[in-house]
Amino acid sequence: MKYLITGSAGFIGSSLAVALLERNDEVLGIDNILPYQDIRLSHARLARCLAFERYQHSDIDIRNGQKLGALIQNWQPQVVIHLAARAGVRAAEQDPQSYIDTNIQGFFNIMEACRKTPVEALVYASSSSVYGGIERLPYHESMPIEHPLNLYAATKKANELLAYSYSHLHHLPTIGMRFFTVYGPWCRPDMALLHFALSIKNGKPIDLYNYGRHRRDFTYINDIIQGLLLIIDHWESKLEIGANGPYAIYNIGSGQPIPLAVYVSWLEQYLGYTAIKEQRPRRSCDMLATYADITAIHRDFGYQPQFSIEEGIRRFSVWFHDFYA
């Protein structure tokens, strides 16, 4: 199989690329490695992919629709997995235009290229943040998502709406993945886990908003990749092709939310450092809790998380000590 992955030097993108390459699939990765992230970490992730002969790389910017379309037309992938995006809640408040340009214009460019080539299916990253102000837990895919609490969440909801329209109008099969707080080795520095680990190691305080009482459905990276592979391999037999076109949305989470304070305590334990904690009130852009109902993806694809949160943090800590030695 030939796959195209956007964001292939990113946390989830590089992990998925390696998993596909290890089973001898061909992968074309797209990532222009912008400097707002840790460049050394991004290049280290990319190096893992480049170690495989069946991996090709392009640094095309997904905001350039003409070049992106030509690349996909030339390479003719069977499935496109779109993971490139500007992520993070706080950064969206500081630079909203970049989120509109990348997450919405870039997503439109991907869909147009997939439509024109055409490809067999488009699998794309959404987020648990789309559930916004919903207080009823756990979150199920059928819930109305009318109240995003931040711009990042709004861009992800927009992606789902655009995908629906393309599935309906052009019969482009689209499958959106609502990821729930992914963590593990090779994660982004702006994610809580690596941000906390670096701060703890360097003796800097960490901010615990809502006094550490936020509850998150932390999902280990290997479980996310398991879910993606199941969908990539079996989507055709599960996707309903009805009047509204071939369209689906799935939660991918652990189904085991825990308080942020517990998450930090396990991180302290396995890193071997004590955190300096600054207790902060809740911010208006923060969700109080996330909790994935994973009934649908289990029913349709047999997805079952394998890693406890404590074990995931232990594995992350081993990688952290090695990479940042």
What does the radius of gyration of the chain's CA atoms come to, in whole angstroms?
19
The answer to whether residues 72 and 113 touch, using CB atoms and an 8 Å cutoff, is yes
HSE at residue 85, side-chain half, CA atoms within 13 A, is 26
Looking only at the bridges linking them, the beta strands covering 245-252 and 215-216 are: unpaired
pTM of the full predicted structure? 0.94
As a residue count, the chain comes to 325
CA–CA distances in Å: residue 274 to residues 154, 183, 194, 214: 36, 20, 15, 20
Establish whether 36 is a catalytic residue. no
- Could you tell me the domains of the chain? 2-185+218-255+291-306 (3.40.50.720)
What pLDDT sits at residue 35? 76
Query: By the 8 A CB rule, do 187 and 195 touch?
Result: no
Average pLDDT by stretches of 10, the chain with 325 residues: 97 98 98 84 97 97 97 97 90 90 98 96 96 92 93 96 95 96 94 92 91 91 98 85 75 93 94 92 84 95 96 97 92
pLDDT at 282: 86
Assess contact for 61 and 32: CB atoms under 8 A. Answer: yes
Give residue 238's pLDDT.
77
Catalytic residue among 124, 131, 139, 152: 152
Return the pLDDT at 241: 53
pLDDT of residue 289: 86
Query: Which residue is it, tokens 């195209």?
Result: 4
* Other residues' Cβ atoms within 10 Å of the Cβ of residue 122: 25
pLDDT, residue 240, reads 62
Tell me if residue 56 falls in helix, strand or coil: strand
